[in-house]
Homo-oligomer: A and B are copies of this chain.
Amino acid sequence: MAEEVVVQVGQGAGVLVVGGTHGNERNAPWLLEHWRDNPGALATGGLPVRLILGNPEAHACNRRYVARDLNRCFTEDLLADPDEQSPEVRRARHLLAVHGPAGREPCAVAIDLHSTTSAMGNSLVLYGRRPTDLALAAGIQGLLGLPIYLHEADLDQTGFLVEQWPCGVAIEVGPVPQGVVQAQICRQSQLALEAALAVLAAARRGGLRLPAGLTVHRHLTSLDLPRGADGSPQACIHPSRQFRDWWPLQPGDPLFLTAAGDVIRFEPQAELQPRLSQGLENPEAWSDQLVAVFINEAAYGEKGIALSLARREVWAVERAWGQALGDCAAGLAVG
């Protein structure tokens, strides 16, 4: 498919919509091609949308990436390192040079469309607590009720694409195998994107209405499979946990299953407790509202992640968030 398509560009900044940041996630690129050929097929709310294939080289060979994960390349260190010339870091620099907030065709917002082998359903991923992102997510949740994974305070995973734009979220839909297009996954992705664009359009015209509360699932830590001395996995996800993303995880619940059939239960070791109780007034309450996400995502094995743990929290939506998003959206061009 064509690498870059610009739809309805006027004066001012655009909304960057990226698909195929990972080359073996095929649903968003399928949609991008359709929207390119049929500009009326995506309800943009009148916003100037720029549809971009994230990693064309990886897409062409149907692999997550060629040399590095593009969605971990947007760190200041990597972007600034003159010795770093991998295809993905070069691509990250190119995307910023062209579509970055100070790029030649500037975008003020980035929406990154992903799919996963985990049963995440139709969901949003936020990176940190920027008021613009929180407002956008609250608006989408108000429209569709999507669950939100707040990925923050994770030193093992940094450099996500959307963090380089003043406002940005990832839309994460699954379960779907790598390399496969499924109509239902596409439908969910489009619904979430159109909700995001509707919220941005409302913010631009000063008509943003946000719900009173925002439910987030705040990242606490990630768990690897149990591994032997040689590093090889000693167990897989327990079948009662497979496909149970967003479900409560309680101490004693079956978590892994060895090939021999032995059940390994969730009994976090003491050194994990600070992570599990971070941000809590009462550390004893560490298991309250605990859920598992990204269970058995195919691409995370190499990252040593079998699942992540998050805490469900309901936050009051702050007036300042909506103001921040309004300020950001005011810079968007009329489509």
Contacts and interface: CB of A to CB of B under 8 A. Distances in A.
Interface of A: 1, 30-31, 33-34, 38, 41, 63, 117, 175-184, 186-187, 232-233, 236-239, 242, 257, 259-260, 296, 298-299, 301
Contact of A183 (B31, B237, B299): B237
B236 A183 contact: yes
Given A180-B117, A239-B184, A30 B259 contact: yes
- Closest A-B pairs by Cβ, 9 of them: A34-B259, A177-B177, A179-B298, A117-B177, A183-B239, A181-B236, A180-B298, A183-B257, A184-B239
Given A33-B259, A182-B242, A184-B239, 11 more contacts: A30-B233, A34-B259, A117-B179, A117-B180, A179-B298, A179-B299, A179-B301, A181-B236, A182-B236, A183-B239, A186-B236
Contact of A232 (B33, B41, B117, B180): B33
Given A175-B177, A182-B242, A232-B1, A259 B31 contact: yes
A296 B180 CA distance: 7
10 contacts: A30-B233, A34-B259, A117-B180, A175-B177, A178-B179, A179-B299, A180-B296, A181-B233, A182-B236, A182-B242
Nearest to A179: B298
A184 B242 CA distance: 9
Q: How many copies of the chain does the oligomer comprise? A: 2
A183 to B, nearest CB: 4
A299 B33 CA distance: 21
A28 B304 CA distance: 21
A312 B94 CA distance: 54
B177 A178 contact: yes
Contacts of A296: 180-182
A259 B30 CA distance: 8
Nearest to A235: B183
A128 to B, nearest CB: 29
Contacts of A187: 239
A162 to B, nearest CB: 25
B260 A38 contact: yes
Contacts of A260: 34, 38, 41
Contacts of A175: 177
B242 A183 contact: yes
Contacts of A238: 183
A302 B323 CA distance: 49
A30 B177 CA distance: 19
